[in-house]
Amino acid sequence: MSSRDQMVQVYQLRIWIREISSQIWRHLLVRSDSTIAQLHDTLQIAFGWTDEHLHQFLIRGKPYGVWKPGGISFCDNPHQVRLRDFHFRCKERWVYEYDLTDWWQHEIRLEQILPLDPEQSYPVCLVDIKLRKTLYVKPFGDQFESKRKFRRKERGSNDFNKA
């Protein structure tokens, strides 16, 4: 394990779409050195979207996001702002807004901070074996490469449904 990887942690996130019944949600494991741009790409793939709409993260009242023509301008470069830069605490929440005309608001909660497993590729979508869902993620090395399957980590249904 490199000295850089020793400083990296893993964030277990729970993301759900607000004001929708039945609730739509995902559990993800992402590296703390992931950027805002990488988290945006991960969420797009985890929820099965194609990045066709404007979006923004609202973290502690400040907007972050990837600029698109005709869209919102952001003060910070989303390819340089890393999740660990925020020094999130467990149970802390922030918002991801996608499709700003329909105002889909996703609440993101940091559930746990875990040690990095050097044998594991990230991001990971935690999948309940009873759901038998296959989710996809683009590799971070080349964001325009064709989609690859998320690395799935199967969990028992009791673990998966804990809030």
For 35-99, give the DSSP string: BHHHHHHHHHHHTT--S-S-EEEEETTEEE----TTS---SS-TTT-BGGGG---TT-EEEEEES
Question: Bigger pLDDT: 110 or 73?
Answer: 110
Least confident range from 46-60, 91-105, 135-149: namely 135-149
Confidence of residue 49 (pLDDT cuts 50, 70, 90): confident
DSSP H or E stretch at residue 125 = strand 124-128
Fold for the domain defined by 3-160:
3.10.290
pLDDT averaged over every residue in the chain: 77
Identity of the residue numbered 162: K
What is the pTM assigned to this prediction? 0.75
Q: Where are the domains of the chain?
A: 3-160
Residues 10-21 have a mean pLDDT of 90
